[in-house]
Amino acid sequence: MELHSCGPAMTHFTQVVLFTDTDGRARFREASIALDHGTPQSMLSEVFASGGYQLRTSPVGFRSQFHCTTVPQWCFILGGQMEIGIQGGISRIFKPGEHFYSADLLPQGVPFDPAIHGHWSRQVGDDPLVTLFVRG
């Protein structure tokens, strides 16, 4: 998670987004969420709706195959480390306290092709991976 400041108060939250681009491939981008509610001592975003949450633990050595997200959701890393890889050998490692918003949905009407679509995930390091998924 990254907060940026313009003056004495934080003004926005940087959201890391995993999304499906127009070519059907997963990509990372950053989006800004305004922190324009609250007080200078407690800047808040608007209240966002959610559709529930799940906790997950993955053992040391876990690695998935390429897949697409089925429901857009936030993923917060609570323990361990998670690496997310996309086509082209690009990957990012997320540590405890970090997040990403997973929205790399399979384009409607297109059959899944692991050479084009989605991402893989894996546990990194000596500690099991513990994540919190919050549906958007």
Domain spans in the chain, listed from the N-terminal domain onward? 2-135
Q: Would you give the DSSP letter of residue 40? A: T
pLDDT value for 84: 98
pTM of the predicted protein model: 0.87
Positions of E strands within the chain:
2-5, 10-20, 26-34, 37-39, 42-44, 53-58, 73-79, 81-86, 90-94, 99-103, 119-124, 129-135
| Structure-token pair, residue 74 | 């936030």
Whole-number average pLDDT of the chain:
93
- Positive or negative, the CA dihedral 11, 13, 19, 25 is positive
| 22-64 residue pLDDT tens | 999 999 999 999 999 999 889 999 999 999 999 999 999 999 9
Per CATH, the number for 2-135 is 2.60.120.10
- Asked whether 26 and 100 are in contact (CB, 8 A), the reply is no
